[in-house]
Amino acid sequence: MQDLESVFNSTIEQYIQPQGQIVLALSGGLDSRVMLALLKKYCENTGSKAIAVHVHHGLSIHADDWAKQCQKWCLESGLECFVEHVSLDLKGKSLEESARDARYVALSKHLNENDVLLTGQHADDQLETFLLALRRGSGPRGLSCMPQVAPMGNALLVRPLLHVKRHDIESYAKDSNLEWLNDESNQDKRFERNYIRHTIVPSLSKRWPHIQQSVQRSSELCAEQEALIEELISEKYRQCLRQDKSLSISKLIGHSENVRRSIIRMWLSNESIKMPTRSQLEIIWQQVAMAQQDANPKLQLANIEIRRFLEALYIVRDFQSLANWNKDIHFEQPCLLPDNLGTLVLISTGNGRLSKQSLNTAPLKVIFEPEGLVAHPTDRAHRRKLKKLFQEYAVPSWMRRRTPILMCGEKVAAVGELFVDRAFSGDDCDFVWQRY
C-alpha cells in the first residue's frame, strides 16, 4: 500500500506557489474526503492557505444533506467551505458531461492567479477513462486521458492521487476512521463509466493486478505522441489560420490528408470544441470544404456548426437573436455588446473616419438588425441596402446580424469595421470595435 500522505505532500510541493492558495474540489465522496483529511494535515504542517468548494448539482434528493455534511467536515478541519449551486445544460451533452462542465465552471469562480485546484481522480478513474476512450475509437489525444497537472485559467488543476489505486485510498480512509458520502447514482450501470467500474475493471484487476500502472504508462506515451504531433504541425496550422480564426481551404489543400486532419483537430481543440469522430472529420473536408462553390454546406456538431464561406472553414456557434437589441452610445464611453461580441467605443482622434460634427446632429445608438436599412459607403458610388452591402463586403451570412451598426437618429453612420456612410465621413473621430 502506498504512503498517501507522502504522495499527496510531494505532489502539492511541486506545484504550489507562495502567493497562491489551495482550492479543494470537495464532493464528499471517498476520494475528496480523504484529500480533505490529507489537506488538513498539510496545512497544519506548512501554514498553507486552503479552502474547499462543494458543487451542488441538485440531481439527488440527498444533495442538500451532502452540502451540509461537507460544510461540517470543513468546519472540523479548519477550512472555509463554499457551496456552489449549478443548473445543467443538457443540450448536445450527456448528463455526466454536463455535470462535469458545470462543476468546473463553478470551481473556477474560486480560482485566482497562482492558485492550485485539487481534484480526486485516481488510478482506477484513469483506467475507466482509458477504456471509455478505447470504446469511442479515440486516437493519441483521447487515449492521453487525464494529466496529473493541467492549466486552468491562471491557476493549475492538480490530481495528487492519480497514480494511487482506489483500494489504497479506501484503506487509508478506514484506517483513519473517516466517513464519506455515497452517491446512489454511482451504482447505476446504465451510465457507461459505472458499467466499466463495476463490471469490467474488477475482472481486469483480478487478471492483471498492475493494469492501472500499465494504462498510466500508455496514456503518458500517447500524451507524448500528441505533444510531438502538435509541435510538428503548429507552424503549418498558423499558416492556415486566418485573422478571423477561420481556416484557409486553399492552404489546407496543399497538405497531406494526415496533416490536414491534424490541423483541423488543432483548430477545433483551440476553440474548445469537443473532438469529432474520424468520419465527421471526413465530412468536414469532403462535404463542407470541398462542396460546390454555390452550395451552403455545414456540419452540425453538438451546439456548433462547421461551415464554409468563400475559401475558408468557420466555426459557427449557437447565437442568441439580437434583432431587438439596441443601446445608446456616447463619446469616450465603451458600449458593452451582448453575447460576447466585445465592446464599441467612439473616440476622438486626428486620423479617424468619422465626422464628430455630423454625429452630433442626432442621438447615437448601436443596433444589429439590418432589415430595411440603407447606406452609402464612402468607397461606393451609390446607396445600397445593407443586405446587398454585406454580400459585397463578403460578410458571412451568420455574421450579418452580429455586426454592430452605429445609428445617428434614423440614419446609418457606420457598420462595424466595414465602412462609414458618406454623410458621416470625416477625420476627427472613429468607431472602434474591440472584439473578445
Annotated binding-site residues read: 27-32
Give Rg (Cα) of the chain. 27
Report in angstroms the alpha-carbon separations of 310 from 108, 304, 314, 399. Answer: 39, 19, 10, 14
* HEC secondary structure over 32-84: HHHHHHHHHHHHHHHCCCEEEEEEECCCCCCHHHHHHHHHHHHHHHCCEEEEE
Contact indicator for 162, 129 with CB cutoff of 8 Å: no
**Rounded distance between C-alpha atoms, residue 379 and residue 60, angstroms:** 62
Which positions make up the binding site for ATP? 27-32
CA neighbor of 386 nearest in space, from 397, 372, 399: 372
Chain centroid, CA 409 distance in Å: 40
Rounded to 5 degrees, what are φ and ψ at 385? Answer: -65, 145
- At position 415, the amino acid (one-letter code) is V
319: left (phi over 0), alpha (psi -120 to 50) or beta: beta
Residue burial 158-168, b: 16+ Cβ < 10 Å; e: rest:
bbbbbbbbbeb
φ/ψ of 421, rounded to 5, equals -70, 140
Cα distance between residue 435 and residue 128, in whole Å = 40
CA atoms within 13 A on the CB side of 92: 12
Cell reading at 223: 500524451
What nine digits make up the cell of 346?
Answer: 467612439
> CA 144 to CA 256: how far, in whole Å?
24
